[in-house]
Structure 1
């Protein structure tokens, strides 16, 4: 009964002299009883120490899983805060956010999980990080608990929870030492406290460590006096860094350091579980750190803690240092700028410094992040560049921001302008080299020479610059490869180098126009009007391959590139509607306005090469004598085969995939019909399977054309039409067949071999005839078994499609050579197929509802292993749904689902944990006792000890 109980991260480790605050630890351990606990007090009241002691107490007698996050300035950014929380929970997400945090908390069910956020005051109330915490707080799972510790009350939306008694608060009075605790700590030090420090834990400890003193400040000075000079340097460096490793402190201090020794000598210096050390903020007012500021920033920058580096610069009022950090922030983030951090820095900059180039650049980056169409961005970047003439690195970053913005809004004129300015700068940095080559590539492509653009892109150092900048260059590289007819290379580059929905859709389009009929997934809309225009044109042409006439783009575009997109989309729609003469006129009018001798126009016409090849004699003649790229050669071959087929020459062989990708559906079906007249029905059958009923409608239309009637009639006989009503097959439980949702009582269904063959076809995508005969008639000779199989298949066809005429091929049941299969999708649905597809959390209840009993009972002796896998999947679904019900506050339903799972798998440890957790959550003593007894009995039977997660629940069941 195993489970992963990781989660403790960077928890302060109290020194041996620290007082065990038993009353406070016990109060904090009760956090499991409330969804939210607030620990609010000023610096030095021992909030972190008390929480750390409570966490360690939970390790000794666990009540659940703890996950600790110490907040810092960088966590005002929601993405960074979510990533830190996920790391503490032992998980990861490429796009961390509130949804992923809540999913990670739910994933811990049935165990309780407590998320402890220390120093939460570092997350400003109006920041994106605070918004993330608010979203998590509002949707906190029932098995999750939140502890927020900081110097001021949180601005989170807790009013509703407070009214329901779901918030526990611990403040200054409870955190302050009592007289007894103060006396106990004094005895440990063997000293007396000579002044009343009002129970302030940090000051009491500091005063006692330094000996009798008149004040805590004097005590602190006594501690500092007792340190060696390297020790004082080490403490100052640690204060500057706030939290650091020994090597980092040594780098700032400029001397070798022993932080373990420092922690023993200096109170309020703690060692964290991850090996780092932290100095209490009280030392910041006592230890000068100005001379170490530059070194601290260097370490923080090397660590990637730009928010921390900016905090140091802002705190010291060192605006020159902040300017340098601001440029670094833009350089390393560009279009993924942490806006909250950048805005906080800009707000801190005095008015006399706001026009400095670094801060102008930072302001431009913020404006881009807010709205990349903001017309002030270019002005801000230009002013920044003008003031950075002697700073080539800074100018490179500014031009990088200019490129990102221009790419975002498709402003090619701006890109040319940036290229001209980049040429005047020293190309000694990777960013400038990238800018030079990428913008030169844009200019080449605009001149109709994408091959020249690829030469420049191959020299662009995309691997040496921030990803935010390289992404734009890589996307353009993908486009240029496709323009050169290298769709396969374009798709591979997009999939290898880019990682977002837009890139994957670009890859899919590239594969389609390379002749590979891929599936298109949904995703976010293209981010610019230009991107949306291009996407509409491409998808209008692709839709025509399926016989769909979408709305074409408007004519009258004022540039050759967009005019081609409008022309191709309009022609594709016309062909789909059967208006081929209109499509020819569209191409004729386009070529009159943008002649094929126009290099830019002609190169863009190749993107839709088959349309132009068939509809324009001029383009056909040109392209027949042109050396084309691989994708364009495939498109030309498909167009050439279609033109020759109309002339009676059917010698050209076109792969079915290429016919679909390169030809509008009326053309690909016409080609299939002409081939069928010579006995070649493969293309027609493939198109019917892939596209569906639109193909059969065209078959019927072509029967009215004397030239095409023979081939169309042959295809209608060979390629079955889909049934006119939905057919359902249910095998999870007693087998049922439905038509229009109504179960049929057909005599064929009473035949055992028919049910067995149908079950086998449901279970396996393809069944070989010999395999079916061996399973169903193992005692018969091959000839007799083959005869029985033919008879059984006849009964099965009649069961599934009784209305189909004799001799006509079945639609649902296909026999291809030696194999037999059911056609997936369309009007045929199978509960087992749906059962396997319903795997998302939102679909678990649907998957569970499909279970009517043991699956495929007629095959239990023939396919035992496969049926066992189905049963195991159902148990998994029951438990996953039960855990989901538990975290959403429905322990009764969770317990019922656990019981159903344990009925199928009595020794399933996850099921026992869920049953026990559900009983505990329902506060049902009788059910808890029964669940506990069942867990212990199963452990005894299999002879194993409980794992840590089960042990937590067993311990809770005793104390409840």
Structure 2
């Protein structure tokens, strides 16, 4: 944040008005250059540090902030809030909400750098519309983007400070003149910067004259230093030295030249007014290099555009495309292209930049290929292989987005002619060579090339794209564990989770899949749907089927496997065989790339196609594919009566559609082995029992199916609910059960233990419930109690049948989670996030697990603490939405449970202040102070801010 110069005039009237930003949701500060907007804001921020009203977060806007993602990232950094790689207004609002109950003021200086109508301006508009009640927005600049503020203005929620407010009054001008020991003879209309400069340089008839008086006193090196600082906007001393071409003394410049400041972060800044009187053209190339090195391509582009240096801008355009690829900051790219004269737009750099912008708008645009090819050809004609590599990189991204194999082959062949000199060129060479190998059905050779690709030395966008293809090739080779490890190490966020989960699943490890596919291309969506269809078949589910018309073997395999898995799930195995037969007729297995992609779903092909089975039985496969082949063999052998192969249950689930895994379980049950059937029923749920019942109609499988149905409990007809957040209740089909078993204390205690811990050993249950009895008597009491508990939970189940909810073996007792069983405590834990807090709080009926107060004291204390946290979190959310009454109510509820909770006292204070209720504020303040006295501690900084405000407003 900028600090005012030591010689700057303190302006209490203006500081007081700017401190009023804490009273209005939005404050607009607009004036031309030199009117002290930044200095006045800095003084107001410092005044807040002396008497805090809340938290200030300062953002200085600059070139590139027209891009919404970059602006959001800068704002979140100012708020010290964690964020992903592509944040937006939702993340900013969440960060502001998390600061509640404290007020937060977000100050954006130089907001004129965010052009009207740009994505950055749209982000600010969305922020202004949804601003939380505890947040304040200050926009300061020469102009302010058009924001939807009509409603707020009508409600008196917008404060405006303009040129007239910022101009020096006669009294302030005189005070500043006395401090300089000079007399101001010219009427400069209160223009602060010009008044300061004139007092420094002597009487002036114009800005230029005053500036020349100052410049005339500077040595040539100091003028170069000032010019370097002007062209950079803000910079460190070392950056200024790099542009000036020699060591510099910027501190001396600050002391001797007006309108030059040292910022709080150690950087320096020269006022924009100096740009009109200092030549900087000779420095632009070096300045651009410095800006590029610190990651400010947009700033470097502004330097080039202002100087109409299209050669420099062309070089920056290449760098912008090279370092961003499919996440191009489109607003910045469009601004550059709009500035370029028409006759320069046919240069290769601007052709590829235009192609990148078109890709961002619509990757299916056929004109992209023409633009990229023309750029590549011109660079190659000029011998510029680095430029050609950038063009081909954009071509690869576009072709990959479309799934255009023909285009990829053509690009790969052209890339072979490039000379590998830089890391990017070497990466491109190896990547396209890997693509060619993969398309030829040789993913092992592709991996050899990818292993040599320098992903750690290139822009992140290139590294991510290459890593995803590397993961894909590992999977094609049957190396699922290696693929999962690479994806987990090199990718981030949802992208990492999706790739890791898919690789692990087809390696034989069942994992949970969360979230959709948000990579942004139709190709990614198509692949995700195909994999989802095959995985869904393992659970007996059928998803929307893919189109049968595909013009390449890769996508044809995805469609064939997805449709065949659905056919098997419907019980139409003959149709599934026909699908594979038709596929092989069009794309024979002798086509290497077709056969390698068939291995991705190896078990399906192994069981359904004699041709593929014979081929794969004599092929050296990768580890994941060997596991899939073993699963297919075991299933076919079981159909022949050979059950010697004992597969891990996880492999059965991952590699076989549910009808096949259920059939295998039934065949094993006929031989007295029910473990697989039990595991499937637990993991898959009711769909497994539906398959067992279907198989019971087959005379050859009926015996095994009947045994499983008798041994593995089926879900009950009516849903059951267990409530322990208050006096224990059991519901059936939503109605409270009036069951005599609930009058038994030991039944309630055993059920409570199972709710809290899910699994307990018999020895633990006996030690907790019957510590005074001998082992035999205690074991007998446990059996009787379990009988009553089974009857309580499932009164309609016939005698002799295993309980669905309560499972037991020789050592343990378990309460099984199921969609037929709801437990308020389980729901309470699952709902305790910011989006469903009210639902979690509504479950609370009183002291939890009252029958286990002495047995589970730590667990009960944790439940109570979470409930208090939920109350306070929801109260803070209500406060930021302006509902101070509900916030106060929730704070009071929390303090009833935890009277000394500091967060609860802060919320109660903030709610009283927001309600502008002096009596309530004083009552809450007294309660907070009494609590602090009893604890013998000082208030934390946040509480101290609120206590100070309570004194001020009471």
| TMscore range, shorter length | over 0.9
| Structure 1 residues without counterparts, runs of 5 or longer | 1-10
Counterparts of 1:639-650 in structure 2, within 5 Å, are 639-650=632-643
Cα pair distance change 1:658/1:948, threshold 3 Å:
same
- Asked whether the 8 Å contact 1:400–1:431 carries over to 2, the reply is no
Cα pair distance change 1:529/1:911, threshold 3 Å:
closer
Residue matched to 2:883? 890
In 1, Cα distance between equivalents of 2:933 and 2:31: 49
In 2, Cα distance between equivalents of 1:573 and 1:524: 21
Cα pair distance change 1:852/1:34, threshold 3 Å:
same
Indicate which of 64, 88, 92 corresponds to 2:82: 92
Secondary structure at the counterpart of residue 771 of structure 1: helix
TM-fit CA distance, 1:525:
5.3
Residues 158-180 of structure 1, C-alpha deviations (whole Å, 9 max, x = no match): 11111111111111111111111
Residue 141 (str. 1) matches residue 144 (str. 2): no
- Asked whether the 8 Å contact 2:471–2:484 carries over to 1, the reply is yes
Indicate which of 891, 895, 899 corresponds to 2:892: 899
In 2, Cα distance between equivalents of 1:562 and 1:298: 45
Counterparts of 1:788-803 in structure 2, within 5 Å, are 788-803=781-796
Cα pair distance change 1:497/1:568, threshold 3 Å:
same
In 2, Cα distance between equivalents of 1:332 and 1:597: 40
Residues 12-67 of structure 1, C-alpha deviations (whole Å, 9 max, x = no match): 11122111001100111111111111111111111111111111011101111111
In 2, Cα distance between equivalents of 1:526 and 1:179: 60
Indicate which of 43, 66, 83 corresponds to 2:73: 83
Residue 454 (str. 1) matches residue 454 (str. 2): no
Secondary structure at the counterpart of residue 66 of structure 1: strand
Residues 614-664 of structure 1, C-alpha deviations (whole Å, 9 max, x = no match): 223333232222211111111111111111111111111111111111112
| Structure 2 residues without counterparts, runs of 5 or longer | none
Which has the higher mean CA deviation after the structures are superposed, 225-234 or 291-300?
A: 225-234
In 1, Cα distance between equivalents of 2:803 and 2:947: 59
In 1, Cα distance between equivalents of 2:906 and 2:838: 20
Cα pair distance change 1:617/1:381, threshold 3 Å:
closer
In 1, Cα distance between equivalents of 2:143 and 2:611: 77
TM-fit CA distance, 1:230:
2.4
In 1, Cα distance between equivalents of 2:392 and 2:526: 27
Which has the higher mean CA deviation after the structures are superposed, 252-261 or 277-286?
A: 252-261
Residue 692 (str. 1) matches residue 695 (str. 2): no
Which has the higher mean CA deviation after the structures are superposed, 389-398 or 863-872?
A: 389-398
Residue 958 (str. 1) matches residue 951 (str. 2): yes
In 2, Cα distance between equivalents of 1:834 and 1:212: 76
Counterparts of 1:465-484 in structure 2, within 5 Å, are 465-484=458-477
Residue 363 (str. 1) matches residue 354 (str. 2): yes
Q: Number of aligned residue pairs: give it.
A: 950
Residues 640-694 of structure 1, C-alpha deviations (whole Å, 9 max, x = no match): 1111111111111111111111112111111111111121100000011111112
Residue matched to 1:582? 575
Residue matched to 2:3? 13
Which has the higher mean CA deviation after the structures are superposed, 893-902 or 254-263?
A: 254-263
Residue matched to 2:532? 539
Residue matched to 2:741? 748
Residue 210 (str. 1) matches residue 169 (str. 2): no
Residue matched to 2:272? 281
Residue matched to 1:48? 38
Residues 361-380 of structure 1, C-alpha deviations (whole Å, 9 max, x = no match): 11111111111111111111
In 2, Cα distance between equivalents of 1:14 and 1:159: 33
TM-fit CA distance, 1:210:
1.8
Indicate which of 17, 21, 26 corresponds to 1:31: 21
Indicate which of 165, 178, 185 corresponds to 1:174: 165
Residue 272 (str. 1) matches residue 271 (str. 2): no
Residue matched to 2:343? 352
> TM-score, length-normalised on structure 1?
0.97
Residue 373 (str. 1) matches residue 364 (str. 2): yes
Counterparts of 1:48-127 in structure 2, within 5 Å, are 48-94=38-84, 95-127=86-118
In 2, Cα distance between equivalents of 1:507 and 1:580: 31
- Asked whether the 8 Å contact 1:194–1:214 carries over to 2, the reply is no
Residue matched to 1:566? 559
- Asked whether the 8 Å contact 1:407–1:472 carries over to 2, the reply is no
Secondary structure at the counterpart of residue 721 of structure 2: strand
Counterparts of 1:72-471 in structure 2, within 5 Å, are 72-94=62-84, 95-389=86-380, 390-471=383-464
Counterparts of 1:557-706 in structure 2, within 5 Å, are 557-706=550-699
Which has the higher mean CA deviation after the structures are superposed, 642-651 or 850-859?
A: 642-651
Indicate which of 839, 842, 847 corresponds to 2:840: 847
Cα pair distance change 1:261/1:635, threshold 3 Å:
same
Secondary structure at the counterpart of residue 198 of structure 2: helix
Which has the higher mean CA deviation after the structures are superposed, 720-729 or 527-536?
A: 527-536
In 2, Cα distance between equivalents of 1:183 and 1:867: 70
In 2, Cα distance between equivalents of 1:293 and 1:174: 36
More contact order relative to length (CA 8 Å, sep ≥ 6): 1
Secondary structure at the counterpart of residue 821 of structure 1: strand
- Asked whether the 8 Å contact 2:517–2:528 carries over to 1, the reply is no
In 2, Cα distance between equivalents of 1:568 and 1:12: 62
- Asked whether the 8 Å contact 1:730–1:830 carries over to 2, the reply is yes
Residues 103-127 of structure 1, C-alpha deviations (whole Å, 9 max, x = no match): 1111111111111111111110111
In 1, Cα distance between equivalents of 2:259 and 2:23: 31
Residues 561-595 of structure 1, C-alpha deviations (whole Å, 9 max, x = no match): 33333333333222222222333333334334444
In 2, Cα distance between equivalents of 1:832 and 1:228: 76
Residues 174-221 of structure 1, C-alpha deviations (whole Å, 9 max, x = no match): 111111111111110111001110111111111111234444433322
Residue matched to 1:3? none
TM-fit CA distance, 1:503:
4.9
Residues 472-491 of structure 1, C-alpha deviations (whole Å, 9 max, x = no match): 22222222111111122222
Which has the higher mean CA deviation after the structures are superposed, 682-691 or 542-551?
A: 542-551
Residues 833-875 of structure 1, C-alpha deviations (whole Å, 9 max, x = no match): 0111113211010011111111101111111111111111001
Residue matched to 1:808? 801
- Asked whether the 8 Å contact 2:416–2:433 carries over to 1, the reply is no
- Asked whether the 8 Å contact 2:132–2:881 carries over to 1, the reply is yes
Instruction: Give the alignment's Cα RMSD to 1 decimal.
Output: 1.6
> TM-score, length-normalised on structure 2?
0.97
Which has the higher mean CA deviation after the structures are superposed, 782-791 or 125-134?
A: 782-791
Cα pair distance change 1:628/1:926, threshold 3 Å:
same
Cα pair distance change 1:884/1:681, threshold 3 Å:
same
In 2, Cα distance between equivalents of 1:813 and 1:36: 58
Residue 762 (str. 1) matches residue 752 (str. 2): no
Secondary structure at the counterpart of residue 136 of structure 2: strand
Residue matched to 1:6? none
In 2, Cα distance between equivalents of 1:431 and 1:80: 24
Secondary structure at the counterpart of residue 802 of structure 1: coil
Indicate which of 765, 782, 805 corresponds to 2:775: 782
Cα pair distance change 1:589/1:349, threshold 3 Å:
closer
Cα pair distance change 1:295/1:563, threshold 3 Å:
closer
TM-fit CA distance, 1:828:
0.5
- Asked whether the 8 Å contact 2:115–2:145 carries over to 1, the reply is no
Which has the higher mean CA deviation after the structures are superposed, 814-823 or 274-283?
A: 814-823
